[in-house]
Amino acid sequence: MKKLKCAVIGVGYLGKFHAEKYASLPDCELVAVVDVDASVAGRVASGYGAKSYTDYRELLGQVDAVSIVVPTTYHHAVAKDFLQAGAHVLVEKPITVTVAEADELIELAKMRQLVLQVGHLERFNPAVLGLETDEKPLFIESHRLSPFNPRANDVSVVLDLMIHDIDIILALVDSELERIDASGTAVLTGGTDIANARLLFSNGCVANVTASRISMKMERKMRMFRPSSYVSVDFQNRVLTKHRTGTKEMFPGIPEIVTEESVFESGDALLEEIKHFVNCIQTGDNPLVSGEAGKRALATAIQITRLLGE
């Protein structure tokens, strides 16, 4: 099979890892990287025998697939140009700044029969992939807490951290969102640094979501209660714990609780994400995190930020 000619647009902190993954895949040829900083682009490109550019438009029509890892403000313009030029696109989260921009990319990809995948990396966490989805959750509680990092302050805590859990919750519940309540506060920056949102779905499920970028510890956990089970996901340590009712009795008339814990080996979620993107290009399968999924997560995050007054 002919190798896919791939490029990475934006090779800063995260983009350089995208370049590394493409270069490692036998079905791909990393032909170029792009960055507004010529020295950064040159340094990353030289490590993989690729070409470097400062203007992504020089690559239009020259590549089969791209990862777009530039600031969110530029996602729409860059993705649109590559889709119009016939390239498959993996764009980092959030998909765009506005829902209208996301709609345009989705329609363009559909019209050109191209893969549009959104980089919600947590979907490729092995603990998440190990979740059984046959039983819908009734109540979900998630906490995504991080120490302060000045690198991520160009977007709100909702679009930076909470959106990961929003995306997973929307996929798990698979029901219309009827109501959102939200509260939050600024502590160290001009925007909201800690936020909580309560999502009420039409099927009765409630999700309580908390995100903080000013915590003293790192914690990334989600707990969900289902009709016959309680499930806990530790994203950081890749642990999936399931508690189910058993066949025996703990007390007269009260079933026993059976616990099963799965600890997954440290994997490479970004590599799995990019391999999935490549596979979708080759097979025509729909991506796990489609443009539609990315748009829905964005729309929900925007609603929450508006309720927070941002």
Each residue of 168-212: pLDDT tens digit? 999 999 999 999 999 999 888 878 899 999 999 999 999 999 999
- Amino acid, res. 229: S
Range list of H helices, 85-240: 99-112, 126-129, 157, 163-173
CA separation, residue 91 to residues 18, 202, 277, 286, 294 (Å): 11, 30, 11, 15, 10
99 phi/psi in degrees, rounded to 5: -65, -35
148/151 Cα distance (integer angstroms)? 9
| pLDDT confidence band for 149 (50 / 70 / 90) | confident
Structural domain spans, the chain: 4-114, 123-265+299-307
Q: How far is CA 257 from the centre of its chain?
A: 33
Q: Which two tokens stand for residue 175?
A: 């029901």
Which of the 8 DSSP states describes residue 215?
-
109/238 Cα distance (integer angstroms)? 33
Is 153 a residue whose pLDDT tops 70?
no
Q: For residue 310, what pLDDT is reported? A: 77
Each residue of 276-300: pLDDT tens digit? 999 999 999 999 999 999 999 999 9
The domain made up of 4-114 has a fold known as Rossmann fold (3.40.50)
Cβ neighbors of 43 (< 8 A, separation 6 or more) are: none
Q: For residue 151, what pLDDT is reported? A: 64
Q: Taking residues 55-79, what's their average pLDDT? A: 97
Is 257 a residue whose pLDDT tops 90?
no
Question: Would you say 197 and 304 are in contact if contact means Cβ atoms under 8 Å apart?
Answer: yes
123-265+299-307 classified as CATH 3.30.360.10: yes
Cβ neighbors of 194 (< 8 A, separation 6 or more) are: 157, 184, 185, 187, 210, 211, 212, 213, 214
Nearest to 8 by CA among 77, 92, 86, 72: 92
45: three-class secondary structure by DSSP: helix
pTM: 0.92
Is 258 a residue whose pLDDT tops 90?
no
Burial class of residue 73 (count of CB atoms within 10 Å of its CB; 0-12, 13-18, 19+): exposed
Q: For residue 152, what pLDDT is reported? A: 60
Mean pLDDT, rounded, of the chain = 94
Q: Which two tokens stand for residue 68?
A: 């777009």
